[in-house]
């Protein structure tokens, strides 16, 4: 989505994840890393949308190094923890990668 104001980025990400919940064809996996790790944790405004996607079969994976860096490992609320090797492998082998 590019770079810009942090507040606008949060609004756009929330809208993107909500829009995903409204699609007939869902992604197989959502990979959350860097600041995106916060999306899967307690207090995230997108948590309900991510839980909805997970309940509908979308695998939600969050970078463990990122969770540790932000000190939020214990706040993970949806999906499971992964590592950068797995993230790279999944992105490299995916038929299609969508990046908001």
3-state secondary structure of 62: strand
- CA gap 94, 78 in Å, rounded: 22
Structure-token pair, residue 93: 């082998």
Q: How confident is the model at residue 4 (pLDDT cuts 50, 70, 90)?
A: confident
pLDDT at 2: 62
The model's pTM is: 0.92
> Quick check: 17 pLDDT over 80?
yes
Complete domains list, the chain, with CATH: 6-93 (3.40.1260.10)
- CA gap 88, 84 in Å, rounded: 6
Backbone φ, ψ for residue 76 (5° rounding): -60, 130
pLDDT at 99: 85
């Amino acid at each position: 989505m590019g770079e810009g104001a942090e507040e606008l980025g949060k609004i756009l990400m929330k809208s993107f994840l909500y829009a995903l919940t409204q699609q007939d064809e869902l992604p197989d996996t959502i990979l959350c890393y860097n600041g995106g790790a916060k999306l899967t944790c307690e207090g995230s405004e997108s948590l309900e949308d991510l839980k909805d996607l997970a309940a509908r079969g979308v695998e939600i994976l969050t970078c463990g190094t990122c969770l540790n860096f932000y000190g939020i490992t214990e706040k993970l609320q949806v999906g499971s923890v992964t590592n950068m090797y797995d993230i790279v492998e999944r992105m490299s082998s995916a038929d299609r990668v969508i990046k908001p």
